[in-house]
């Protein structure tokens, strides 16, 4: 994504790329999460077999999203502080 902002300074390119990619990342995750909610919260015939799958999907999406957001931010900040980016 930094290639799209190649004419900018490297720090500015990273910042702009992060801003540009945040919304699609959140929209994709939330669409999958809301799609799995009826599976996790459903009741009725056979729900006891489908409910663990829905809970696993929702929990996995939330965990992976939080891990992605915090780990990526930590990595970029560490990368800049270490001097890898001039």
The candidate with the shortest Cα–Cα distance to 30, out of 5, 61, 3, is: 61
> What ranges do the domains of the chain cover?
30-86
State pLDDT tens for residues 28-41: 999 999 999 999 99
Report pLDDT for 4.
56
CA 55, 49, 39, 46 torsion: positive or negative? negative
* DSSP category for residue 68: H
State pLDDT tens for residues 20-70: 788 888 899 999 999 999 999 988 898 889 999 999 999 999 999 988 888
Q: Is the whole model's pTM more than 0.85, yes or no?
A: no
How many other C-beta atoms can be found within 10 angstroms of the C-beta atom of residue 53?
A: 12
Inform me whether the pLDDT recorded for 1 exceeds 70.
Answer: no
Inform me whether the pLDDT recorded for 78 exceeds 60.
Answer: yes
How many other C-beta atoms can be found within 10 angstroms of the C-beta atom of residue 65?
A: 17
């Amino acid at each position: 994504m930094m290639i799209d902002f190649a004419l900018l300074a490297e720090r500015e390119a990273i910042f702009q790329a992060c801003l540009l990619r945040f919304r699609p990342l959140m929209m994709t995750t939330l669409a999958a999460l809301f799609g799995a909610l009826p599976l996790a919260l459903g009741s009725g015939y056979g729900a006891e077999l489908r409910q663990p799958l829905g809970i696993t999907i929702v929990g996995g999406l939330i965990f992976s999203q939080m891990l992605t957001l915090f780990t990526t931010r930590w990595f970029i900040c560490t990368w800049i502080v270490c001097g890898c980016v001039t």
